[in-house]
Amino acid sequence: MTFTVAKAIHWLDFDRFYKEVCRVVKPECLLAYLAYELPKIELALDKTVIHFHDEVLGDYWDVERRYWRKNIQIFYTHLRSFESREFIYKTIWRYENLEGYLSSWSADQHFIQRKGDNPVFKFLKTLKSKWTKSQQVEFPIFLYAGRV
């Protein structure tokens, strides 16, 4: 039996979640968590995206998300035979794809609710001249898995 969580575990009370997993699964169940990090485009653009994520929107991220990024090890300390793997998802994005991705962030929505304007639009204006028609975008994807 395998139990998988993809990019949602930071919303859960992990201790309660893990206790419930242990209650409902068979012994030796494989528990797997998939996560991804910020996209990699090219170094100059990556630095500006990281700045936007951490500095401009930093205070607008939910506490659970900020905690999870800094404490990923809480996921695997409960598991036996723990393994992790990294994969790269590659795709081609137009400028509009980046806009949609950044606008989907919960921190952007929180910013809009508190400030009344969308920081993504201002941020994207600074990138427009650096963005070619289509750019390769890579997402680092992490798989963490172990036995319950």
Report residue 22's pLDDT band, with 50, 70 and 90 as the boundaries.
confident
The Cα–Cα gap between 144 and 27 comes to 18
pLDDT of residue 40: 96
Instruction: Give one DSSP letter per residue of 98-117, joined into a string.
Output: HHHHHHT-HHHHHHHHHHSS
- Domains of the chain with CATH codes: 2-147 (3.40.50.150)
> What local confidence, expressed as pLDDT, does residue 74 receive?
66
> What pTM did the predictor assign?
0.82
